[in-house]
């Protein structure tokens, strides 16, 4: 059943980032506090507000903050909660929700994932939701702007909503809750670290290194770092562990126990060196962060790049990404021959194909198909004709073949650097941008790497000295106070066999 009403203690001060969204909602706070003020001039405050943005960006938090800032009751419901297998249940629940809201006005009614019931009524997938959606539309029309009810909804796929929902008089204000910018990411990281960070943690550097991450993803990053610091018995989270956690989030945990054959490791080294070298010489590609042969997730190695924090990506940028993805397969072919290429480049080719197809079909960057563009929904409905689909596939194939040729030219003309870089990876396993530059320019990095290893050991020792603590200081003894024979959980004496099976 629908969630009960609650009092929200969250305010706009608790919402880091989303400054534009908070500014858009300030007049609604004033309306909820003093609706009579707006009634004097017959000013009509929006009945509904649609919060739009990617998952994990804080849409629910913003809705709670709106209610908390105004000091009014907060009704929470998810779009999926209205629907069951019985026809008419959804419409009934919508009516009951608004009856409660009217009885407790002024208040905020929040419907999360409204696309679950608010999808287009002409779609076959939404034929069972028509009654629920119709009832919601009726309720939005059924109360005046001065009753003190503000309906807030959230979705990350607004293009799937029925036009009747977003017309004036219903959800007539759209508020974007977007991915946090660099300033907001710094505030979010500071909030989640909450005094747990070590003195060497640089929030500015972390904020620059995490573009495109939502608030939920930043929270997950900090939590993984906190778990790792706890496993090392530290009382603070140092920068080195946070950087390691970023690799964990991007590629999965390091597979330290994995045994790799020498020939496989050598092939992987040339594969990753191919990616790094093509990206290094491709205009439009972002800077390399590091190249490594440490296996993570399903990958035996990886090259990570500084993410792009720009809102616009040019055609040159996309082409550089495709060329870089091709670099691994090209390196395998040049060094080991066409008959020795492996399926290791499968994900690279899929990524390159995905970018090329998006350029042609959605971004108007193709030559043959021209400025024609399709939305993902139109593609799912099969609105592209067979002739157009054939032209798209031909153009995508040409883009990929041209990209493969460019990557081959780069690696063929820099084959000496490719050998040096692959051998350096085999010897040292992980190289940063500065170390990659040193290798490409023919400099000996053995002394540099020895000094770096010594510094890392000293840093680890310093971290343990500064932030280390006895295990008993921060891991509670869950068995304290129990006798040796006392169980940790006591089963109810009168539980029947049927009840036990139901619990299990």
Structural domains of the chain in order of their starting residue, each with its CATH number = 6-176 (3.40.50.300), 182-251 (1.10.8.60), 262-454 (1.20.58.760)
pLDDT digits (tens, 9 = 90+) for 254-299: 777 677 888 889 999 999 999 999 999 998 888 888 888 888 777 7
Distance CA 106, CA 125 (A): 35
Tokens (6 digits) for 64: 């709670």
| 423 vs 163 pLDDT, higher one | 423
Distance CA 479, CA 329 (A): 55
18 pLDDT above the threshold of 90: no
473 pLDDT above the threshold of 50: no
Comparing 26-35, 267-276, 285-294, 443-452, the range with the smallest average pLDDT is 443-452
Q: How confident is the model at residue 127 (pLDDT cuts 50, 70, 90)?
A: low
In the residue annotation, 272 being an active-site residue is answered as yes
DSSP string over 172-203: -EEEE-----HHHHHHHHHHHHTT-B-TT--H
| Cβ pair 179, 54 in contact under 8 A | yes
Q: How confident is the model at residue 405 (pLDDT cuts 50, 70, 90)?
A: very high
Measured from the Cβ of residue 23, the count of other Cβ atoms closer than 10 Å reads 11
Task: Determine what percent of the chain is predicted with pLDDT higher than 90.
Answer: 24
Tokens (6 digits) for 398: 């040409």
Write down the H helix ranges in 215-364.
Answer: 215-231, 239-251, 262-281, 315-336, 346-361
Instruction: Find the distance separating the first CA and the last CA of the chain, reported in whole Å.
Output: 23
Tokens (6 digits) for 321: 């990404």
Distance CA 251, CA 234 (A): 24
Confidence (pLDDT) at 451: 66
Comparing 40-44, 284-288, 492-496, the range with the smallest average pLDDT is 492-496
Comparing 65-74, 113-122, 285-294, 339-348, the range with the smallest average pLDDT is 113-122
458 pLDDT above the threshold of 80: no
pLDDT digits (tens, 9 = 90+) for 159-202: 888 888 888 778 878 899 988 888 999 999 999 998 888 888 88
Mean pLDDT of 67-87: 76
Q: How confident is the model at residue 145 (pLDDT cuts 50, 70, 90)?
A: low
User: Under 8 Å CB-to-CB from 461, ≥6 apart: which residues?
Assistant: none
Query: Residue 223's Cα: distance from chain center in Å?
Result: 15
Comparing 176-185, 202-211, 249-258, 325-334, the range with the smallest average pLDDT is 249-258
Distance CA 137, CA 139 (A): 5
Helix, strand, coil percentages for the chain (3-state, nearest 5): 55, 10, 35
457 pLDDT above the threshold of 80: no
Q: Which of 264, 131, 218, 187 is nearest to 14 (CA)?
A: 187
pLDDT digits (tens, 9 = 90+) for 297-318: 777 888 888 766 566 788 899 9
Indicate the average pLDDT of the chain. Answer: 80
350 pLDDT above the threshold of 70: yes
| 79 vs 319 pLDDT, higher one | 319
| From 24, 272, 435, 463, the catalytic residue | 272
Distance CA 60, CA 3 (A): 14
């Amino acid at each position: 059943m629908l969630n009960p009403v609650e009092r929200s203690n969250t305010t706009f001060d608790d919402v880091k980032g989303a400054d534009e969204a908070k500014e858009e909602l300030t007049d609604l706070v004033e309306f909820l506090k003093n609706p009579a003020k707006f009634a004097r001039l017959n000013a009509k405050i929006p009945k509904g507000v649609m919060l739009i943005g990617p998952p994990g960006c804080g849409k629910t938090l913003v809705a709670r903050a709106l209610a908390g800032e105004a000091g009014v009751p907060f009704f929470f419901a998810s779009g999926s909660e209205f629907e069951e297998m019985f026809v008419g249940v959804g419409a009934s629940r919508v009516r009951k929700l608004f009856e409660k809201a009217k009885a407790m006005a002024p208040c905020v009614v929040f419907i999360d994932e409204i696309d679950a019931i608010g999808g287009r009524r002409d779609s076959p997938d939404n034929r069972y939701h028509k009654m629920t959606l119709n009832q919601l539309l009726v309720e939005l029309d059924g109360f005046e702007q001065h009753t003190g009810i503000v309906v807030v909804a959230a979705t990350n796929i607004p293009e799937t909503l029925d036009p009747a929902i977003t017309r004036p008089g219903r959800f007539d204000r759209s508020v974007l809750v977007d991915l946090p910018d660099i300033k907001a990411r710094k505030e979010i990281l500071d909030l989640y670290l909450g005094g747990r960070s070590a003195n060497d943690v640089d929030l500015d550097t972390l904020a620059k290194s995490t573009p495109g991450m939502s608030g939920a993803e930043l929270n997950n990053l900090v939590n993984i770092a906190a778990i790792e610091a706890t496993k090392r018995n530290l009382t603070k989270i140092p920068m080195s562990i946070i950087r390691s956690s970023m690799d964990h989030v991007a590629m999965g945990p390091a597979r330290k126990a994995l045994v790799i054959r020498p020939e496989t490791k050598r092939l992987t080294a040339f594969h990753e060196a191919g990616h790094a070298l093509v990206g290094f010489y491709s205009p439009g590609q972002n800077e390399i962060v590091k190249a490594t042969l440490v296996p993570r997730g399903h990958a035996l190695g990886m090259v990570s790049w500084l993410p792009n924090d720009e809102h616009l990506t040019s055609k040159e940028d996309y082409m550089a990404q495709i060329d870089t993805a091709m670099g691994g397969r090209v390196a395998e072919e040049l060094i080991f021959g066409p008959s020795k290429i492996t399926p290791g480049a499968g994900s690279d080719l899929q990524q390159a194909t995905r970018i090329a197809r998006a350029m042609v079909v959605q971004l108007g960057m193709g030559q043959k198909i021209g400025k024609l563009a399709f939305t993902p929904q139109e593609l799912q409905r099969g609105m592209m004709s067979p002739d157009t689909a054939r032209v798209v596939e031909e153009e995508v194939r040409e883009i990929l073949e041209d990209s493969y040729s460019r990557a081959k030219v780069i690696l063929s003309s820099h084959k000496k650097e490719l050998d040096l870089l692959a051998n350096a990876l085999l010897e040292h396993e992980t190289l940063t941008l500065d170390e990659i530059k040193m290798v490409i320019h023919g400099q000996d990095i053995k002394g540099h790497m020895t000094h770096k290893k010594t510094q890392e050991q000293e840093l680890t020792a310093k971290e343990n000295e500064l932030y280390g603590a006895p295990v008993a200081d921060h891991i509670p003894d869950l068995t304290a106070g129990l006798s040796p024979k006392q169980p940790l959980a006591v089963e109810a004496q009168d539980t029947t066999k049927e009840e036990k099976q139901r619990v299990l």
